[in-house]
Homo-oligomer: A and B are copies of this chain.
Amino acid sequence: MSDETAIRDLITRWVDAVTNCDLDGVVADHDPGIVMFDVPPPENGVRGIDAYRNSWPPFFEFIRSGAEFELLELDVAAGTDVAFAYALLRCGTPEETAADPDRRLRLTIGLRNRGGRWYVTHEHHSFCHR
């Protein structure tokens, strides 16, 4: 399996874990030192795997209320030891999507390879301001 395929699979599994509110699955491929720039604060980012893990339950409440988290586009730049990917997602309740169908969550993911396995060390999630 190529590194690009492995990273696509990793990200697809992560999206599935988010939509299934599966916390162990969401953190399964993440580095202890993960730094996430999330949609909500903190301004300086969510730092470390414990803070990352703790950031998800409030979002799972949003998913359980009926919100979608659907991967629409994914581009992977896979090197031999470092990689990044960027993606566009549909993220909102059916009512939000009906009112604003073109709204997109923008996502960038940074990864490192250690011992032949890829780990996510950085995530950046945002909506544009308008």
Hey, which bits of chain A sit against chain B, CB under 8 A?
35, 37-45, 73, 75, 77-84, 86, 88, 102-104, 106, 108, 110, 112, 121-122, 124, 126-130
Contact = CB atoms under 8 A, between A and B. Distances in A.
Contacts of A121: 77
Contacts of A45: 86, 88, 106
A26 B110 CA distance: 23
Contacts of A129: 39-40, 127
Contacts of A79: 79-83, 112
Contact of A130 (B40, B44, B102, B108): B40
A118 to B, nearest CB: 12
Given A43-B102, A86-B110, A103-B43, A128 B80 contact: no
Interface centre among A39, A40, A44, A80 (most CB of B within 10 A): A44
Contact of A43 (B84, B104, B110, B112): B104
B77 A112 contact: yes
Nearest to A78: B82
A41 B128 contact: yes
B84 A128 contact: no
